[in-house]
Structure 1
Amino acid sequence: MGEKVVAGVVDLSDRQRYREKLRQCLAGLGRLLAEERFDRPKNLMGLEIELNLAGPDGLPRMLNAEVLERIASQDFQTELAMFNLEVNIAPHRLGGRVLDQLAEEVRTGLAYAHRKANEVDAGIVMIGILPTLAQDDLVPANLSAADRYTLLNEQIVAARGESFQLDIEGVERLTCTSESIAPEAACTSVQLHLQVTPARFAGVWNAAQAVAGVQIALGANSPFLFGRELWRESRPPLFQQSTDTRPPEVAAQGVRPRTWFGERWIDSAYDLFEENLRFFPPLLPICDEEDPLKVLDDGGVPSLAELVLHNGTVYRWNRPVYDTVDGVPHLRVENRVLPAGPTVIDVMANTAFYYGIVRALAEDPVPVWSRLPFEAAARNFDDACRHGIDAELQWPRPGRHGTVRRIPAVTLVLEELLPLAAGGLDAWGVEPADRDRYLGVIEERCRKRVNGASWQTATFHRARESGLDRHAALAATTRRYCELMHAGRPVHTWPVGLPRPALPPG
């Protein structure tokens, strides 16, 4: 959501012109692909982490402007709500000791930001959904003061034409309404970027879609919302419902939601951008002065600004990205599946697994998407969100003509996917020490069946059994989570429950 947008009145002519500009941009993208104008492979990866601000009491703090002023670094940016921040790590070449290098950069940056947040009685929390968020925290008054967020909220609310209905049934059920998109801000994610050539794009995107359910099963970290225990990873249903421009009658007709897993394997990056235009009305009809086709005719490279802006309002869990650097265009796959946290080493373990498994699956001569129905991949994503580390997933049996079977996610990872991920990291040239360290964290999570969501729920229930009421238990769980997060050991090593109070002297 980082694009600069200036709020203003949107009229019919704006929408008509924007639609025409979108068609021109799509034609320009087609020409760039046909003329093979894209950057050569550089094995570049990027990382973004969305963060929460909470006080020593575990409750959210609406202070991102004050904290950002103190951090004073372009690496940290505002996000949708005033209790959100985002940190962006500069692109790195995949290979060597890149995972340890990234871990050190993230650790250093978050420690600095945490110290600066402490100056205003707040702290940095890496977690999918802050357990202490209340419905009253997610209101328009707590949206960040940026034109883009104001205009996006106005346009989604106008498109829907009525209140947003949240109805998520998991361990417990949550039903409520919202007058704005503010509940979306509860969802804080890790975004993993991989720059790819057009020829490799479809294979990487398909591989990322195939393993999205596995990623969630391993990394779920969002079991609570508004005081209710819901899905082990509650971000996807919350994100979909809080940005849903479809009134119930339109949804009943089968119209696609803007937060979307997808419905098919693809053959080209063009397929996804073309779907965006075909299925989703523009939300931010803001036109750039550039004529993309004339720029191409003159031998230049267009920014395709309207296409990029529109793409940013279609919330795919694996999103295509078009960008230019020094006048050269490139494509990226942006993986948006994972929640933030719990610790830096956990984030890097998730990162290592993703880049390794995607490389291995994308280069398999008998690709998994030729053996796994797309509908099964979508169900895997849903099942993993519901059940987390305990999910059972559909996956082809090994072999060219392997049948699809149900298998516990942890068994699938331990017996089949971890060796593939290790081979993928080897293919990237990642040092064996980095490979083994971070994939070892994934292995132990699977063996112990522990991730952020399972730790949060187990600790919450222990707190309730000790006599705390629901809200006090959630606050105590959040405070303990923050303590262990900043200590830095991976979540599978965390003791369940709250520490016993110290006995008085004597």
Structure 2
Amino acid sequence: MGEKVAADGIGLADRERYRRKLQECLEGLARLLGEKRFDRPKNLVGLEIELNLAGADGLPRMMNSQVLERIASQDFQTELARCNLEVNITPHRLHGQVFEQLAEELRTALAYADRKAREVAARIVMIGILPTLDTTDLTAASLSENDRYFLLNDEMRAARGEDFALDIQGVERLVARSPSIAPEAACTSVQLHLQVTPGRFAAVWNAAQALAAVQVAVGANSPFFFGRELWRESRPPVFQQATDTRPPELQAQGVRPRTWFGERWIDSAYDLFAENVRYFPPLLLLCGTQHPLRVLDAGGVPDLAELVLHNGTVYRWNRPVYAVVDGVPHLRVENRVLPAGPTVADVLANTAFYYGLVRALAEQPRPVWTRLPFTAAAENFAAACRHGIDAMLRWPRPGRGGVAEIPVTRLVRQELLPLAAAGLDAWGVEPADRDRYLGIIEERCARRTNGASWQTAAYHHAREQGLDRGAALAEMTRRYVDLMRSGEPVHTWPVAWSAARRTVPSPRRAEANGWGRGEGSDGG
């Protein structure tokens, strides 16, 4: 979301013009697909991670502009709120020791950014939702200084016509209202990109949808929001409600929310772009000067700018992406399911699991989506968000037909990890790289431990030590940051510690520990 847009010159008459341009873009996309104009995949791993800023007290720090000024690297950008950043890692070929290479680059980038953040008394925190955020932290005044964020906020508020309502029943219940979309900024994620041919797009997207629940269950890391213990992965309900432009009457009519899982398996990438145009009113009515059909008639490649912009305001958990690079168009599946963190090792384990499994599932002779109803996949996703690594999921019975309910830990260890390993082998990933990172997923399942389960156990331990709610959340967050910087995967983290003897690393100790193995130099 970091790109800038100009907010000037938008009026009521623009809506009809923008709709016409969207239809032109859709027709242009259909022509490109029919003419087979798309680039071949280059087997590249694309990785983006949204981050939080917090102080030594564990509380959020609203100063991304100051931190970014000191980082001074195009790899880091703003995100929605001033307590957020985003880091983009240069794409790597999915081959050899790619995950260890990515891990080394990510450790170096995060360690450098953290050193720069400490210059203004802030720290980089890689977590799904910062547990210490409060309602007063996420208001319209908290939005980053970017025209797109202000315009998006204004348009979504106008579309809804009233405050955004948050009502989430988890372990506890949260009820809150917000006059802005700022609570959306609490949700920080990892985004994984995979370029695919048009002919393989549907299979890859369907596979990604089928495994989304598994990703959430083993990778959950967002159990707290606004001081309440909610779902094990609270980002999806928070994000959906914080961006819900439907007033209650439209919700009652069954109008689709802008953040959604989807409602069917697809046959083509075109299906998703067409649904986005058909179901969702445009929010950012910014028309470019290019006419897609004229560009095609002249033998060129259109940027489909209006369609791309509109597509960015429909928040699918697996999003279709159209882009043009060096004059050649391509398609990507953007996987947006995973929360950030807890450690670099955990992020790369989640990444390896996804890329291996999505390839294996997409290439099955009898694909999982031909044996699993889409409604079951959607229900699985909700169950995984609620229960995390303790979730029960519905999955096709191997070789026997039908669908059975199975603990996600058993499903992963018995069926999906071997598939993910085979998928990584097909990509050409080195066995040592494959085994290291898939081994982290296996250990999480064996110990039934992920970021969310550690956070909740550590929080309740702090409460048992006599701390009140706010102090326990802050104490748990500080402990999380210490362990995150150790680089050891979350399933190895101890839960218990003495609240009376808590230690916060001194600058010297923190510099030594870094972000795990291989902290690099000041190169961002």
TM (norm. structure 1) is: 0.98
Q: Does residue 100 of the first structure (1) align with residue 100 of the second (2)?
A: yes
CA distance in 2, matches of 1:2, 1:163: 25
CA distance in 1, matches of 2:199, 2:165: 41
SS of the residue aligned with 1:155? helix
1:195-274 matches, within 5 Å, as 195-274=195-274
Q: Could you tell me which residue of structure 2 aligns to residue 22 of structure 1? A: 22
CA distance in 2, matches of 1:447, 1:173: 30
SS of the residue aligned with 1:474? helix
CA distance in 2, matches of 1:135, 1:2: 23
Task: Letter of the 1:451 partner, please give it.
Answer: N
CA distance in 1, matches of 2:115, 2:447: 33
Per-residue deviation, residues 221-264 of structure 1 (Å, max 9, x unmatched) = 00001110000000000000000000001011000000010000
TM-fit CA distance, 1:56: 0.2
CA distance in 1, matches of 2:7, 2:134: 28
Q: Could you tell me which residue of structure 2 aligns to residue 497 of structure 1? A: 496
Q: Could you tell me which residue of structure 2 aligns to residue 194 of structure 1? A: 194
Q: Could you tell me which residue of structure 1 aligns to residue 68 of structure 2? A: 68
Per-residue deviation, residues 69-123 of structure 1 (Å, max 9, x unmatched) = 0000000000000000000011111111100000001000000000000000000
Q: Does residue 377 of the first structure (1) align with residue 391 of the second (2)?
A: no
Name the CA shift for 1:498/1:9 in 2 (closer, same or farther; >3 Å): farther
Q: Could you tell me which residue of structure 2 aligns to residue 162 of structure 1? A: 162
Task: Letter of the 1:18 partner, please give it.
Answer: Y
Contact 1:476–1:498 under 8 Å retained in 2: no
TM-fit CA distance, 1:500: 5.7
SS of the residue aligned with 1:307? helix
SS of the residue aligned with 1:137? coil
Per-residue deviation, residues 122-163 of structure 1 (Å, max 9, x unmatched) = 000000000000000000001001000000000000000000
Q: Could you tell me which residue of structure 1 aligns to residue 331 of structure 2? A: 331
Q: Could you tell me which residue of structure 1 aligns to residue 132 of structure 2? A: 132
Q: Could you tell me which residue of structure 1 aligns to residue 389 of structure 2? A: 389
Contact 1:477–1:498 under 8 Å retained in 2: no
TM-fit CA distance, 1:299: 0.6
Task: Letter of the 1:89 partner, please give it.
Answer: I
Per-residue deviation, residues 405-439 of structure 1 (Å, max 9, x unmatched) = 00000000000000000000000000000000000
TM-fit CA distance, 1:497: 2.6
Task: Letter of the 1:143 partner, please give it.
Answer: L
CA distance in 1, matches of 2:496, 2:228: 18
Per-residue deviation, residues 147-204 of structure 1 (Å, max 9, x unmatched) = 0000000000000000011000000000010000000000000000000010110000
CA distance in 1, matches of 2:150, 2:348: 33
TM (norm. structure 2) is: 0.95
CA distance in 2, matches of 1:41, 1:336: 20
Q: Could you tell me which residue of structure 2 aligns to residue 343 of structure 1? A: 343
CA distance in 2, matches of 1:267, 1:499: 55
> Where does structure 1 differ by over 2 angstroms across 4 or more consecutive aligned residues?
497-503
Task: Letter of the 1:430 partner, please give it.
Answer: V
Q: Does residue 141 of the first structure (1) align with residue 169 of the second (2)?
A: no
Q: Could you tell me which residue of structure 2 aligns to residue 432 of structure 1? A: 431
Contact 1:227–1:474 under 8 Å retained in 2: yes
Alignment length, in residue pairs? 502
TM-fit CA distance, 1:394: 0.3
Q: Could you tell me which residue of structure 1 aligns to residue 466 of structure 2? A: 467
1:110-125 matches, within 5 Å, as 110-125=110-125
TM-fit CA distance, 1:35: 0.3
SS of the residue aligned with 1:135? coil
CA distance in 2, matches of 1:340, 1:117: 18
SS of the residue aligned with 2:429? coil
Q: Could you tell me which residue of structure 1 aligns to residue 11 of structure 2? A: 11
TM-fit CA distance, 1:7: 1.2
Task: Letter of the 2:165 partner, please give it.
Answer: Q
Contact 2:462–2:499 under 8 Å retained in 1: no
Task: Letter of the 2:300 partner, please give it.
Answer: G
Contact 1:460–1:497 under 8 Å retained in 2: no
CA distance in 2, matches of 1:374, 1:331: 23
SS of the residue aligned with 2:48? strand
CA distance in 2, matches of 1:465, 1:20: 61
Contact 1:95–1:428 under 8 Å retained in 2: yes
Contact 1:460–1:477 under 8 Å retained in 2: yes
CA distance in 1, matches of 2:401, 2:126: 39
Name the CA shift for 1:499/1:300 in 2 (closer, same or farther; >3 Å): farther
TM-fit CA distance, 1:498: 2.9
Q: RMSD across aligned C-alpha pairs, in angstroms?
A: 0.9
Give the percent of matched residue pairs that are identical in Structure 1 and Structure 2: 76
CA distance in 2, matches of 1:375, 1:80: 32
Q: Could you tell me which residue of structure 1 aligns to residue 303 of structure 2? A: 303
